Structure 1
């Protein structure tokens, strides 16, 4: 058995950390801060590492981490514990910076309104955990069991729900809230799940055959480059000069969709798809651009807007 000289008693640890003895005892009994040893008299003993762990536990509890998750820390070394604590503190600082930015912007606008109060009450929805949970649900529902679409959405998840800057403007904050509401919208999810379902069924079969997204990305990139070059040259979508460009785009799209004949029927289907495209999907990416402070519209959006107009002007 160890002696009290070999470590901190629970009372000493409480004094050093500022955490009540009762709380430390609860953490030890729950397995999140197991004592290092016990004296012959049965007193719990803790070491220097336990002092650091206790501070981390307190920090993690303040940001809502449950005890089951914290319990795994007992199996990690001090460096891992300190790294986790650093991340937790940085998360807290970022949350405080955002709160400060929103409060400052609200006060600068004059008398606060009910909208301002709702905005402040929504600050808790901006954490990394909330963002991840939102995207988990979105990917699962929109993917609809199609592995190819789920994989594609997983690759895009960070782009689809970007993190707010540490000090967002009111416009960026409102864009994030609107985006969160959009992603949680059941009707929007159902619309995306239905959109291009035939294409994703084919992609799923290709996945089973071992084909990846590389060919799809290359074709999509070539379409965007081709159309943007035409726009830069001043080619209007309704002009005769647009015809060979549309033909090339249709051929590339036919390859992506696995259509054996890029003829009039396929073109009409493409045109119909553009007409039925849910405008909320475009709004989604516009909100992403607002949050990130990047130019809008995106080059892909510009290109596909041109294609939609060109297909209407040249149906066959």
Structure 2
């Protein structure tokens, strides 16, 4: 229990085990405001200040800065500690990555200039850097089209996955290449031009059925993959009814009245002009995630592209 008039700094130091200079500094910067002063001018503190001093010491030990402690006031301490926990976990992840890359580099033998550049690039792999990269990508590729920006926003995690805590050299190189690719102005411009008519028709629409599109896309891929699994060659007669179903689904998605030679030419041209960098993009994602390449979607659309080339008209008009 505190003396009637309160604790002096010397008494607080003896009770807390902290040096007088440290307590005086905390008081001067406002994290431990004095309660009163004696007639001789000595600072006085209460029982609650002794408890707060212990809290300050604990927060400083886990890395909370003095400005945050000073502003804590009546704010939720749980929130402050939760934020600090996330900070510590982020720092640990960064250290784990650095350790993994250093270890893999040393295991390869004499470090090269490429190894040094790779190590120098580790700072570009944090969550904040990834979010900034995707913010810029969505903004530029979206081109002000709200429907396309919403679609890209939903793909953020898929398009730029986070590295595992202990990445391989191959995963690290894939992430760095992916970051360069997504920052490439020409690549962004190509993606912005692709399907521009499709997105222009949906600009400023608040009720675009993205879930419906995903289901249609899943059905398209599933239909083509079933054909692959059954060994149906894209150029065979057996592929025609399957392709008819696929094209009918694509026509529905694109708002086309019906399947026909003109629509099939448009689809074929889109496949032929598809930027190979987009394929590389998803290949890099697979490397970062350590998932098989090519993925089912790529296999499905490769089959569809080949079937369209072999069957330029639907059976009803062939």
Deviation for aligned residue 1:156 = 1.1
Deviation for aligned residue 1:60: 6.9
Aligned-residue RMSD, C-alpha: 3.2
Q: Which moved more, 1:79-88 or 1:105-114?
A: 79-88
Question: SS of the residue aligned with 2:202?
Answer: helix
**Equivalenced residues, count:** 300
Q: 2-side partners of 1:159 and 1:8: how far apart?
A: 58
- For 2:8 and 2:140, the matched residues in 1 are separated by 58
Where do 5+ consecutive residues of structure 1 fail to align?
Answer: 62-66
Partners of 1:14 and 1:20 within 8 A in 2: no
**1:146 matched residue in structure 2:** 145
- 5 Å matches for 1:250-269? 250-269=247-266
- TM (norm. structure 1) is 0.84
Structure with more helix by fraction: 1
Matches within 5 A, 1:124-273: 124-204=123-203, 207-208=205-206, 210-273=207-270
Distance 1:25 1:273 in 2: 69
Task: State the secondary structure of the residue aligned to 1:203.
Answer: coil
User: C-alpha separation between the residues in 2 aligned to 1:97 and 1:225?
Assistant: 39
1:287 is aligned to 2:292: no
**Distance of aligned partners of 1:144 and 1:242 in 2 relative to their CA distance in 1, 3 Å threshold:** same
Q: Is the alpha carbon distance of 1:44 and 1:271 closer, same or farther for their aligned partners in structure 2, counting shifts above 3 Å?
A: farther
Change beyond 3 A, Cα 1:21–1:177: farther
- Tell me, in whole angstroms, the C-alpha distance in 1 between the residues paired with 2:58 and 2:75: 12
2:271 corresponds to which of 259, 270, 274:
274
Cα pair 1:237 1:306 within 8 Å, conserved: yes
Report the Cα offset of residue 51 of structure 1. Answer: 3.1
1:308 is matched with which residue: 305, 308, 311?
A: 305
| Distance (Å, rounded) in 1 between the aligned partners of 2:158 and 2:243 | 29
Contact kept, 8 Å, 1:267 with 1:311, in 2: the verdict is yes
Q: Would the alpha carbon gap of residues 146 and 299 (structure 1) be closer, same or farther in structure 2, given more than 3 Å must change?
A: same
The CA deviation string for residues 81-115 of structure 1, in whole angstroms up to 9 with x for no partner, is 22122111111111111111101101111111000
Q: Which has the larger radius of gyration?
A: 2
In the superposition, the TM-score normalised over structure 2's length comes to 0.83
Give the conservation status (yes or no) of the 8 Å contact 1:105–1:169: yes
5+ long unaligned stretches in structure 2: 314-318
Pair 36,286 (structure 1): closer, same or farther in 2 beyond 3 Å: farther
Q: Deviations over 1:189-217 (max 9, x none)?
A: 11111111112223336x33x24212211
Mark the CA change 1:195 to 1:88 in structure 2 (over 3 Å): closer, same or farther. same
Equivalence for 1:64: none
- Aligned equivalents of 1:247 and 1:8: distance in 2? 87
